[in-house]
Amino acid sequence: MSKPVTVAVTGAAGQICYNLLFRLASGETFGDRPVHLKLLDLPIPAVQQAAEGVAMELMDCGYKTLTGVTVTGDPNEAFDGVNWALLVGAKPRGPGMLRKDLILENGPIFTTQGKALERAASDLRVLVVGNPCNTNALIAASNCNGIPDDRFTAMTRLDQNRAVAQLAQKAGVTNADISHMTIWGNHSATQFPDFEHARIGGNPAAEVIGDLEWLKGDFIKTVQQRGKAIIQARGKSSAASAANAAIDHVKEFERATPAGEWFSAAVVSDGSYGVPAGLICSFPCTSDGQGGYSIVQGLEMSDWAQSKLDATVAELQEERTVVAGLLG
Ligand code: NAX
């Protein structure tokens, strides 16, 4: 019998979770392992009722892999004994709200949740989706004693997937032809989608596309601004694609990365590529499929690429300064 997995997901009544929870429960993410889902949302009756409704629908799917669903408004109950915690719940950025205000508004959620995560299983792994996700992961990790910081990750997989789709469309190939797509830095408009190491059909993307002006200009801008473009088009922020990326992220950490490949995830910096140690920064990563992962070493950065990395890292450092009072 496969080892059961208990997964806590926050923001359970929200739009990302409505696209995420079913794919966690169905066997798509954890194969034939029995899954127990623990759904956390705000302890407000109407919100809890909405989360209960999602739990009812999960039950009604009749998944063979789903062994139970718990709905709660209490982080201590939600995180008790969990193997994975997907921290999706956060307040969205309101009209005219500065990034700094959002950081200070959402930061306290992650001090509380970081402390409650001390009750998790010893093999806990955390994915933070709620924005600003890199800095929220930093806050959660620093408030969670007894669990190593390298268990805390944040999501840049949606940015990776967006970049892959843009390259494929431009080159007139399928997404499957694109590999080695790295997102460096912050999940924000300063992120650096690195086409210099990306490959198309195994060849350098820049050679295949042959349009450096587009790669350095519209390509990067489109990926950086995609979240905004979705809001403008849909009137709501990305939900299905965000949930899809969260599934991709979890699956990457659950499997051993095939030799020679990598994926993007925001993980705690060990000083690689000159990124100050301790920042939660997106890097190219590989997983050993046993709970361990490494930052891919030895990629050569052009001066131009390094300047892009420096800019997004500078933003992460600024965010760390803004939340200094919330770090444990
Ligand atoms: P919704 O507003 O639909 O849902 C958020 C849910 O979180 C609500 O049910 C709310 O009650 C709950 N919540 C708020 N505070 C909570 C707390 N302290 N504990 C538990 N639950 C709490 O937002 P949704 O569209 O689902 O987006 C969720 C988060 O994902 C947002 O912060 C959003 O900015 C972020 N995103 C991150 C992305 C990424 O690539 N990292 C992309 C998509 C998305 O923008």
CA of 187 to the centre of ligand 1 (A): 15
CA 121 from chain centre, in angstroms, equals 20
Query: Can you tell me the mean pLDDT for 64-78?
Result: 98
Q: What is the pLDDT of residue 3?
A: 96
| Digit-coded pLDDT (tens) for 251-281 | 999 999 999 999 999 999 999 999 999 999 9
Asked if residue 7 has pLDDT above 80, the reply is: yes
Distance CA(295)–CA(285), nearest Å, equals 4
Closest alpha carbon to 102 in 251, 322, 325:
322
> CA 268 to CA 280: how far, in whole Å?
4
pLDDT for res 97: 80
Task: Give residue 92's pLDDT band: very low, low, confident or very high (50, 70, 90).
Answer: confident
Residue linked to tokens 């759904």: 39
DSSP conformation class of 199:
E
Q: Ligand 1 centre from 77 Cα, in Å?
A: 20
| Ligand 1 pocket, Cβ-based, cut-off 6 angstroms | 10-11, 13-16, 40-42, 47, 88-92, 109, 129-131, 133, 155, 158, 187, 227, 237-239, 242
Residue minimizing CA distance to atom 2 of ligand 1: 14
Burial of 230 (0-12, 13-18, 19+ CB in 10 A): middle
Tokens of 77: 């109950």
Equal fold, 5-154 vs 157-322:
no
* Mean pLDDT in residue range 70-92: 97
Q: What is the CATH number of domain 5-154?
A: 3.40.50.720
Q: Which residue has the tokens 């994926």?
A: 263
With b meaning 16 or more CB within 10 Å and e meaning fewer, what string describes 59-73? eeeebebbeebebbb
Q: What is the pLDDT of residues 115-138, one digit of tens each?
A: 999 999 999 999 999 999 999 999
Phi, psi of 93 (to 5 degrees): -70, 125
Q: Which residues pair with 288 in a beta bridge?
A: 256
C-alpha distances out from residue 79 to 2, 11, 86, 125, 247, Å: 22, 13, 10, 11, 19
Q: Which atom of ligand 1 is nearest to 133's Cα? A: 41
Whether residue 134 contacts residue 107, with contact meaning beta carbons closer than 8 Å, is answered with no
Ligand 1 atom with minimal separation from the 75 CA = 19
pLDDT band at 1 (very low <50, low <70, confident <90, very high): low
Q: What pLDDT shows up at residue 290?
A: 93
- Nearest CA, atom 41, ligand 1: 129
249 catalytic per annotation: no
**Interval 238-252: pLDDT, tens:** 999 999 999 999 999
Distance CA 108, CA 35 (A): 29
Q: Which atom of ligand 1 is nearest to the CA of 155?
A: 41
pLDDT at 93 over 90: no
Whole-number average pLDDT of the chain: 97
User: What global pTM score does this model have?
Assistant: 0.98
pLDDT in tens, 185-218: 999 999 999 999 999 999 999 999 999 999 999 9
The residue among 92 and 61 whose pLDDT is bigger is 61
Nearest residue (CA) to ligand 1, atom 18: 109
Residue to substitute in 186, 237, 241 for testing ligand 1 pocket (most ligand atoms within 8 angstroms of CB): 237
Check whether 96 has a pLDDT greater than 80.
Answer: no
For residue 101, the CA-to-ligand 1 centroid distance in Å is 16
Instruction: List pLDDT tens digits, range 276-303.
Output: 999 999 999 999 999 999 999 999 999 9
pLDDT in tens, 19-37: 999 999 999 999 999 999 9
Sheet with 178-179, strands from edge to edge, namely 178-179, 199-200, 203-204
Query: What ranges do the domains of the chain cover?
Result: 5-154, 157-322
The structure tokens listed for 110 are 């992650």
Residue 73 has pLDDT above 80, yes or no: yes
- 48, 129, 183, 280: residue to mutate for ligand 1 pocket, most atoms within 8 A of CB: 129
CATH: 1.20.120.1200, 3.90.1150.10, 3.90.110.10, 3.40.50.2000. Which one for 157-322? 3.90.110.10
DSSP assignment of 81-118? T-SEEEE---PPPPTT--HHHHHHHHHHHHHHHHHHGG
- At residue 94 the predicted structure's pLDDT band, cuts being 50, 70 and 90, is confident
Q: How far apart are alpha carbons 182 and 55 in whole angstroms? A: 36
- Overall average pLDDT of the 159-176 stretch: 98
Residue with tokens 């299905």: 240
Q: Do 218 and 209 form a contact (C-beta atoms < 8 A)?
A: no
Q: Where are the alpha helices (DSSP H) in 70-219?
A: 75-79, 99-116, 133-143, 157-171, 205-209, 212-214
